[in-house]
């Protein structure tokens, strides 16, 4: 297991350790799901691991065991499951039941067959309650928690937007002076984040960032441009993150590679690598 060790100064009441894992993309299915789902499980598992699909679960177990042994909390920023299946959700329920975890959902958490449909609130609603009950003690859409004097807020932004209720709840959370960390699946746009993650990529490759300015999406195909275009509420959410003195860091996933970036405001944005490749982040927080 590769562990990226990061020091984060957040203004905690005492030093503490914290794990950050994302994007395990579990690809399990069994007789409870149909043949299409079982075939999807096989092909997706092979593509994530270069032909060793059994490693995904093996690595997840190894990572959760390390978290459990440390006694520290785990921040999980989405895509534990690659698609909705009974076997994937059973595994989520089992592993998340063994550690103290704070979770936001990823886009794949609600994916039925991966890329087969336009993903919006109606699509998410098909599986939301079933998925949510597989992450014990977590809301997975919006939740807050204070650890050693630091407030962690998990916001589901995995379709590149937030909803007005999430914006207003987050605005309220940022108003009382407690140092706050935002946990999201899709990293937020900032100039540095965009430069960092686009380095070496062709200009028509999507940035996969929430809040990306429209002029940076012009080279994308129609589907990706429409998917990643920022609406007004989401623009306000990103602006709030850039202007709030109480926001101290952003933790994200989704990109399947580790990245240490900064927002325009100067706060860190850390992107966790793919858990399926057995890479995780561990923070030493003060
Ligand atoms: Fe992912």
How far is Cα 27 from Cα 17, in angstroms, rounded to an integer?
A: 30
**CB under 5 Å of ion ligand 1: residues:** 23, 79
CA triple 237-241-243, angle to 5 deg:
115
Gap from CA of 258 to ligand 1 centroid (Å):
12
Cα of 256 vs centre of ligand 1, distance in Å, is: 6
**pLDDT number for residue 19:** 99
Q: How many angstroms separate the alpha carbon of residue 240 from the centre of ligand 1?
A: 25
Residue 5 CA, ligand 1 centroid: distance in Å: 21
Alpha carbon separation from 9 to 12, 138, 161, 268 (Å, rounded): 8, 26, 28, 10
pLDDT at residue 203 is higher than 90: no
Residue 241 C-alpha to ligand 1 middle, in angstroms? Answer: 23
Q: What single-letter DSSP state applies at residue 194?
A: H
CA of 187 to the centre of ligand 1 (A): 12
- Residue 180's pLDDT band, with cuts at 50, 70 and 90, is very high
Based on the structure, what is the number of domains in the chain? 1
User: What is the Å distance from ligand 1's center to 108 Cα?
Assistant: 7
Distance 101 CA to ligand 1 centre (A): 18
- The domain of 157 spans 2-285
Sheet containing 2-8: which strands, arranged edge to edge? 2-8, 279-285, 16-21, 73-76, 101-103
The alpha carbon dihedral of 79, 82, 83, 88 has a sign of: negative
d(CA 22, ligand 1 centre) in Å = 8
Pure H helices in 51-150: 54-70, 86-96, 121-125, 128-132
Cβ atoms 95, 64 nearer than 8 A: yes
- Closest by Cα among 47, 45, 67, 66 to 56: 45
The CATH number of the domain where 126 resides is what?
A: 3.30.750.180
- Count of H-run helices and E-run strands, the chain: 9, 11
Between the CA of 253 and the centroid of ligand 1 the distance, in Å, is: 7
212-270 confidence digits (pLDDT tens): 999 999 999 999 999 999 999 999 999 999 999 999 999 999 999 999 999 999 999 99
Q: What's the CA-to-centroid distance between 91 and ligand 1, angstroms?
A: 17
Interval 152-179: pLDDT, tens? 999 999 999 999 999 999 999 999 999 9
Q: In whole angstroms, what separates CA 82 from the centre of its chain?
A: 13
CA of 137 to the centre of ligand 1 (A): 22
What kind and span of H or E run contains 227? helix 222-228
| CA separation for the pair 136, 53 (Å, rounded) | 26
Q: Count how many residues are written for the chain.
A: 286
Among 271, 248, 210, 197, smallest CA distance to 20 is for: 271
Q: Rounded to the nearest whole angstrom, what is the distance from the C-alpha of residue 155 to the centroid of ligand 1?
A: 16
How many angstroms does the Cα of residue 79 sit away from the middle of ligand 1? 5
Mean pLDDT (the chain, rounded)? 97
The CA 205 to ligand 1 mean position distance, Å, reads: 16
96 pLDDT higher than 90: yes
CA distance 184 to 207: 16
Ligand 1 centroid–CA 275 distance in Å is 9
What 3-state class would DSSP assign to 224? helix
CA of 177 to the centre of ligand 1 (A): 33
281 forms bridges with which residues in the sheet? 4, 20
Residue 96 to residue 64: CA distance in whole angstroms: 8
| Contact call for residues 3 and 280 (beta carbons, < 8 A) | yes
- Tell me the CA–centroid distance for residue 25 and ligand 1, in Å: 7
pLDDT in tens, 100-134: 999 999 999 999 999 999 999 999 999 999 999 99
pTM of the prediction?
0.98
The closest of 20, 197, 224, 173 to 104, measured between CA atoms, is 20
């Amino acid at each position: 297991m590769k562990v990226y060790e990061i020091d984060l100064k957040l203004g905690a009441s005492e030093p503490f350790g914290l794990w950050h894992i994302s994007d395990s993309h579990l690809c399990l299915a069994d007789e409870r799901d149909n043949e299409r789902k079982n075939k999807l499980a096989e092909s997706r598992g092979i593509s994530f691991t270069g032909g060793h699909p059994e490693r995904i679960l093996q690595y997840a177990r190894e990572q959760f065991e390390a978290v459990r042994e440390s006694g520290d909390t785990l921040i999980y920023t989405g895509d534990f499951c690659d698609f909705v299946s009974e076997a994937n959700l059973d595994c989520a329920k089992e592993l998340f039941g063994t550690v103290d975890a704070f979770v936001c959902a990823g886009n794949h958490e609600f994916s039925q067959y991966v890329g087969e449909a336009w993903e919006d609130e109606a699509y998410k609603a098909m599986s939301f309650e079933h998925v949510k009950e597989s992450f014990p003690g977590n809301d997975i859409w919006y939740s807050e928690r204070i650890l050693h004097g630091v407030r962690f807020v998990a916001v589901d932004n995995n379709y590149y937007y937030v909803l007005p209720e999430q914006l207003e709840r987050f605005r309220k959370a940022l108003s009382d002076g407690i140092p706050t960390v935002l946990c999201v699946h899709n990293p937020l746009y900032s100039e540095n984040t965009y430069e960092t993650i686009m380095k070496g990529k062709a200009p028509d490759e999507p940035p996969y960032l929430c809040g990306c300015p429209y002029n940076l999406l012009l080279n994308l195909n129609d589907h990706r441009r429409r998917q990643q275009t920022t609406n007004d509420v989401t623009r306000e959410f990103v602006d709030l993150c850039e202007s709030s003195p109480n926001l101290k860091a952003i933790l994200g996933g989704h990109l399947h590679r580790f990245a240490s970036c900064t927002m325009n405001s100067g706060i860190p944005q850390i992107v966790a690598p793919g858990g399926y490749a057995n890479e995780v982040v561990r923070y030493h927080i003060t």
